[in-house]
Structure 1
Amino acid sequence: MANKDRIEKLVETLLVPILEENGVTLVDVEYVRELGHFYLRVYIDKEGGVTIKDCEHVSRALELVLDEKDPILDPYILEVSSPGLDRPLKKDKDFERSIGKDVEMKLYKALNGHKEFLGMLVSYNKTEVVLKIDNEERVFNRSDIALIRLSVVF
């Protein structure tokens, strides 16, 4: 397991009691290097959306645990935030939460002259995503999808 994966899994484990205590759920953990700096990003959510206070409480509690355990050798910047309304669906739990909701999808290559689709997410599995578009269910290969996210209408 790569160091990145090890750190992300460990942080997910350390977050369990912190998330429960603060009434939020974990959307994702990312440990990435950007422009010469390491970032540990934690994305949280809850019904009705998270507040700055939610992010602050989770961040402070996680900082204490990380300082005590000291599992990350490199200097890093900790960020705790909401994933945003237009977050991409990456993991199976993202797809599961989005069943029955409208999504926007972009393909790498055009299919029947179209690269972008808008429809309701009906189902998914490891290899396929099913959208209901104009009362018709259409099946797409997950490997063909460049981006899929919740549709946000203002």
Structure 2
Amino acid sequence: VKRSESAITELIEPTVLAMELQLWGIDLSQRGKYSILRIYIEREEGVTITDCEKVSRQVSAILDMEDPIAGEYTLEVSSPGLDRPLFTSEQFGRFIGSDVKVRLHHPVDGRRKLNGSIENVSGDEIVLSVDGEGFRLQHTDIEKANVVF
């Protein structure tokens, strides 16, 4: 049985924090019969290749023991980068005024993909300005979001 991303986060976050890094987020996606688990780590002074390698080794050991992903998978560890994915309302709040690309679970006003800027964040409500029009979204409406650099 495949566990959700939140269950995987609970398994690995203590290890990432113990390495003096922040877990920015994870993305578990299917590619045919294989899965790809992307883990994004961060810290103020930046993330090195060595950090990624250490996290990869530690997390691999945990995942091998707990086996939360059905079938074969590839593990990728990286920094979020400039076009970073946004996973939480708090992360949206850190990027107020920034341009973002957002894909929604279900269309809002006939649109599933929105390109705009983050106007405001209040609790789980995110307001995007798209072509001069305000879109009020709940964080749960958002399937995927990235900062556009």
Same fold by TM-score greater than 0.5 = yes
Pick closer, same or farther for the CA change 1:106–1:12 going to 2, 3 Å.
closer
Q: Unaligned stretches of 5+ in structure 2?
A: 109-113
2:15 and 2:58 in contact (8 A); partners too: yes
Q: Unaligned stretches of 5+ in structure 1?
A: 110-114, 132-137
Deviations 1:74-126 (A, max 9, x none): 11111111122112434313213324x533457989xxxxx854x5x452134
1:142 to 137, 140, 143: 137
Aligned residue in 2 for 1:62:
59
2:33 and 2:71 in contact (8 A); partners too: no
Aligned residue in 1 for 2:99:
103
Identity of aligned residues (%): 34
2:11 and 2:62 in contact (8 A); partners too: yes
Pick closer, same or farther for the CA change 1:38–1:116 going to 2, 3 Å.
closer
TM-score, normalised with respect to structure 1: 0.67
Q: What pairs with 1:123-134 in structure 2 (closer than 5 Å)?
A: 123-125=120-122, 126-129=124-127
Q: What pairs with 1:13-28 in structure 2 (closer than 5 Å)?
A: 13-28=10-25
CA-based RMSD = 3.4
TM-score, normalised with respect to structure 2: 0.69
Structure with bigger gyration radius: 1
2:38 and 2:76 in contact (8 A); partners too: yes
Does the residue aligned with 2:127 lie in a helix, a strand or coil? strand
Does the residue aligned with 2:4 lie in a helix, a strand or coil? helix
* Structure 1 residue 34 corresponds to structure 2 residue 31: yes
2:99 and 2:115 in contact (8 A); partners too: no
Does the residue aligned with 1:85 lie in a helix, a strand or coil? coil
Aligned residue in 1 for 2:84:
87
1:43 and 1:83 in contact (8 A); partners too: yes
Aligned length: 138
Q: List 4+ stretches of structure 1 deviating above 6 A.
A: 106-109, 143-147
How big is the shift at 1:150? 3.5
